[in-house]
Chain A
Amino acid sequence: MTLDAVRTLDVDPLLDDPKTRIVVCCGSGGVGKTTTAAALGLRAAERGRKVVVLTIDPARRLAQSMGIDSLDNTPRQVKGIDESAGGELHAMMLDMKRTFDEIVEAHANGDRARQILENPFYQSLSAGFAGTQEYMAMEKLGQLRSRDQWDLIVVDTPPSRSALDFLDAPKRLGSFLDGKLIRVLMAPAKMGGRAGMKFLNVGMSMMTGALGKLLGGQLLQDVQTFVAAMDTMFGGFRTRADATYRLLQAPGTAFLVVAAPERDALREAAYFVERLAAEDMPLAGLVLNRVHGSGAARLSAERALAAAENLDAENLDESRIVDQDGGKAGVRNSPETPADSAKSAASDRSSHNPGPSAGSESPDEGSPASDRTDGNDGTNRPAEQPAEQLTTLTGGLLRLHAERMQLLAREQRTRDRFTALHPEVAVTEVAALPGDVHDIAGLRAIGDRLAAGEGPTGAA
């Protein structure tokens, strides 16, 4: 029911298709890009493909479990996976500075390479300012692809400052390289140092003058030496950046936008979808990660709360026999369908908290359950404790359920808003696991959910 009018993203056919050569997982910060990339890689490998996963800043324990916790910038084969279908999983963690250094080493001879590597401007640039990580990720992807050693490359993307920096970085580099600035910067070196300056036209020398004033002479000089030393390499940078960009547009590439079912995350996901379309990048679909479900979705939030209140009353005055009000409430509520009741529960915006009495602000709204037991502590008669504890537990379970149902309804609303905006985008949902995902088994569980397409049990 959740994905009624929505296209379901079928992950397995995508992973199995030999024509799929690159899968890119993008999305805003913290939504599960790295986890999704690793889970997809594992799944594809266990289904028989030879896969490499390029991760960026994976969580420490996840990296350890894949055996890539030491940064050496080359893919390592991951052990402990099921290779019976003939696949393999390799994984690596991007070392941005190393990647940059390697390019320099590969394209400049000894002396010149050293000159660049030691340039303070280069050192700052390569250690990670705006866009370097994005650019290096794309550079690494290009390298992996050109080795043609794997059937499938799964790429993670950096938690960017703004949405699609990894697409913009090569362009920014390109416009820098094409721009007039670089000619100004290179002019003195090309014309033989300072002496050359006087041959520059007045406009240009005014520019370098202004730049010098702004940056300080020293820095300008460093930049100029850097640019001059890199001169021969710029062509290559640019060619490769263009090639990688085209690779991303090619039919063998599939983009997956990962998002959490939260307003902001989905707003950003919508932006991603639009940007990818504008750039002619092939979008396979949306991964809605950390979605919640409930095995008891038939019980609405209000009804659960009403029942919990009945139990409170019981607990306050144990001698009173429970009247049959609850039963009537049940009858009144029962015709509701689960989704409807969930919706109405959450659309009741007047009550922020699933507190026991909607009208009166109770002082203990933070932790109703624990407060209640505290209140009863002193008066306990040993014989009654179990029964009382049981009612407390049951009340707690019901409040927990109400909270879950409200969350479900909220997630559903956000999701509906997205699908209304982009009905063409295929979606798959991944249930939120209660704990972190930090081992192969966890990745496998995520992979199963990715492939199941549907929402978590009970959400439908």
Chain B
Amino acid sequence: MSRLQVVSGKGGTGKTTVAAALALALATEGKRTLLVEVEGRQGIAQLFETEALPYEERKIAVAPGGGEVYALAIDPELALLDYLQMFYKMGGAGRALKKLGAIDFATTIAPGLRDVLLTGKACEAVRRKDKRGRFVYDYVVMDAPPTGRITRFLNVNDEVAGLAKIGPIHNQAQAVMRVIKSPETEVHLVTLLEEMPVQETADGIGELRAAQLPVGRIMVNMVRPALLDEASLELAQSVPRTALAKTLSSAGLGGARRGGLAERLVGPLLEQAEEYAERYALERDQRAVLAELGLPLHELPLLTEGMDLAGLYRLSTELRKQGIS
């Protein structure tokens, strides 16, 4: 696995969740991973049920097997001030610029700069070494912007090269691109088995490839269990209602005659089966579309009780089972 793992996907498909599960999965014995958030939403803190993360790397979890997961919420404004101080000793100017509204301008309005700062910080963590010359983090996992913006986000160089042709921002962008376009990076896309996210995944992969960004894997999230097999689905179309009522009754669900509980259940249960069949067919189509894309696929189950820490660990175990570590 590459050392920088970028997780994107359509909004709401589970980018934050999958990124966190991936960070846990990669933190095998003796390894350390860093999970970074770039959208300032404190999604990681929520997921790990801790207080809001400051702009500071801190340990948030120990993975099964003993590896460590650190987390960092990158704040572009603080990253910029940090950066000014580090390279120009302009701490004071930074404050003045802030008062002027220039920092706000640079991090929200001015194109590209925000992304340079965010990706720059992540790449710095990827390259950072300790005194003995070993990488501080074995893996950096980024909870990245959604598919619609990911190519542009990672491709800051092209954007910024056209704007800032010289100067520190330019140099920084170059350094970032050296990491991002190398085999050190992989971009994964999270999707659901639904038409829109799958379409967005296909489009996104096309864009990433066109921009020569390294595409990694497809993570199909919230996969529902198959509760009715093909044979049952077929039978559901033709089964005599009386036979079904009798079977329900034999299972202890009241009378099979007209008006009996079992008899009254037949209609609604078959209706649910029909809905299931429709969804099943849709999912099958979407699986086929994904298979066409020719990338490794992973499937993560829908946790019906909702997401919590235990669920997150379950997903990470699932990823390890599927060969990620």
Looking at A121, A124, A365, the one whose CB has the most chain B CB atoms below 10 A away is A124
A215 to B247, alpha carbons, bound, how many Å?
75
CB-based contact B100/A393 at 8 Å: no
Q: Does B29 contact A (CB under 8 A)?
A: no
Interface residues of A in 359-380 (CB under 8 A from B): 365-370, 373
Residues of A within 8 A of B164 (CB): 215-216, 218-219
Q: Which of A214, A223, A326, A389 contacts B169 (CB 8 A)?
A: A214
User: Residues 319-334 of chain A: 1 if any B CB is under 8 Å from the residue's CB, otherwise 0?
Assistant: 0001011111110000
CB-based contact A125/B109 at 8 Å: yes
Residues of A within 8 A of B90 (CB): 210, 213
Interface residues of B in 146-193 (CB under 8 A from A): 146, 148, 152, 159, 162-170
Task: Please choose the segment from B65-73, B204-212, B267-275 that sits at the chain A interface, where 4 or more of its residues have CB less than 8 A away.
Answer: B267-275
CB-based contact A210/B97 at 8 Å: yes
CB-based contact A389/B252 at 8 Å: no
CB-based contact B102/A211 at 8 Å: yes
Interface residues of B in 34-93 (CB under 8 A from A): 39-41, 84, 88, 90, 93
User: Residues 124-146 of chain A: 1 if any B CB is under 8 Å from the residue's CB, otherwise 0?
Assistant: 11011111000000000000000
Residues of B within 8 A of A394 (CB): 244, 247-248, 251
Interface residues of B in 1-42 (CB under 8 A from A): 10-13, 39-41
Residues of A within 8 A of B169 (CB): 214-216, 219
Residues of A within 8 A of B225 (CB): 353, 365-368, 403
Residues of A within 8 A of B296 (CB): none
Minimal Cβ-Cβ distance residue in A for B268: A295
Q: Does A337 contact B (CB under 8 A)?
A: no
Interface residues of B in 80-133 (CB under 8 A from A): 84, 88, 90, 93, 96-97, 99-102, 104-106, 108-114
CB-based contact A389/B231 at 8 Å: yes
- Taking the nearest CB of chain A, how far is it from the CB of B295, in angstroms? 22
A352 to B306, alpha carbons, bound, how many Å?
10
CB-based contact B108/A172 at 8 Å: yes
User: Residues 193-208 of chain B: 1 if any A CB is under 8 Å from the residue's CB, otherwise 0?
Assistant: 0111001000000000
Minimal Cβ-Cβ distance residue in A for B273: A397
CB-based contact B268/A181 at 8 Å: no
Residues of B within 8 A of A203 (CB): 96
Q: Which of A30, A180, A210 contacts B11 (CB 8 A)?
A: A30
CB-based contact B271/A295 at 8 Å: yes
Number of A-B contacts (CB under 8 A): 266
Q: Does B292 contact A (CB under 8 A)?
A: no
CB-based contact B93/A407 at 8 Å: no
Q: Does B288 contact A (CB under 8 A)?
A: no
CB-based contact B111/A125 at 8 Å: yes
CB-based contact B97/A207 at 8 Å: yes
Size range of the chain A interface in the assembly: 35 or more
CB-based contact A398/B163 at 8 Å: no
- Taking the nearest CB of chain A, how far is it from the CB of B106, in angstroms? 7
Q: Does B289 contact A (CB under 8 A)?
A: no
Q: Does A392 contact B (CB under 8 A)?
A: yes
CB-based contact A326/B268 at 8 Å: no
User: Residues 291-311 of chain B: 1 if any A CB is under 8 Å from the residue's CB, otherwise 0?
Assistant: 000000000010111100000
Q: Does A49 contact B (CB under 8 A)?
A: no
Q: Does B313 contact A (CB under 8 A)?
A: no
Q: Does B250 contact A (CB under 8 A)?
A: yes
Q: Does B215 contact A (CB under 8 A)?
A: no
User: Residues 189-203 of chain A: 1 if any B CB is under 8 Å from the residue's CB, otherwise 0?
Assistant: 000000000000001
Q: Does A60 contact B (CB under 8 A)?
A: yes
Minimal Cβ-Cβ distance residue in A for B111: A124
Minimal Cβ-Cβ distance residue in A for B254: A330
- Taking the nearest CB of chain B, how far is it from the CB of A186, in angstroms? 13
User: Residues 388-427 of chain A: 1 if any B CB is under 8 Å from the residue's CB, otherwise 0?
Assistant: 0111111011111101101100100000000000000000
CB-based contact A397/B270 at 8 Å: yes
A420 to B194, alpha carbons, bound, how many Å?
32
Q: Does B261 contact A (CB under 8 A)?
A: yes
Interface residues of A in 208-234 (CB under 8 A from B): 210-219, 222-223
Q: Does A175 contact B (CB under 8 A)?
A: yes
Minimal Cβ-Cβ distance residue in A for B203: A60
CB-based contact A181/B100 at 8 Å: yes
Q: Does B324 contact A (CB under 8 A)?
A: no
Known contacts A159-B11, A216-B165, A294 near B268 by CB under 8 Å: yes
Residues of B within 8 A of A222 (CB): 163
CB-based contact A326/B252 at 8 Å: yes
**28 A–B contact pairs at CB < 8 A?**
A30-B11, A129-B112, A131-B109, A159-B11, A161-B145, A162-B41, A180-B100, A206-B93, A207-B102, A210-B96, A211-B102, A214-B168, A216-B169, A218-B166, A294-B268, A299-B253, A307-B253, A310-B252, A311-B251, A326-B250, A327-B252, A370-B226, A393-B235, A393-B236, A396-B232, A400-B269, A436-B196, A436-B282
Instruction: List 9 A-B pairs, minimum CB-CB distance, nearest first.
Output: A326-B252, A216-B167, A29-B11, A295-B268, A124-B111, A179-B101, A296-B268, A216-B164, A307-B251
Identify the B interface with A (CB < 8 A). Answer: 10-13, 39-41, 84, 88, 90, 93, 96-97, 99-102, 104-106, 108-114, 145-146, 148, 152, 159, 162-170, 194-196, 199, 225-229, 231-232, 235-236, 239, 243-244, 247-248, 250-254, 261, 264-265, 267-276, 278-279, 282, 301, 303-306
Kindly list 19 other residue pairs between chains A and B, CB separation below 8 angstroms, not including A210-B102, A393-B244. Answer: A28-B12, A29-B146, A30-B13, A125-B111, A176-B109, A207-B102, A212-B167, A216-B166, A217-B167, A222-B163, A295-B272, A299-B253, A307-B251, A325-B252, A352-B303, A353-B304, A373-B229, A401-B272, A410-B304
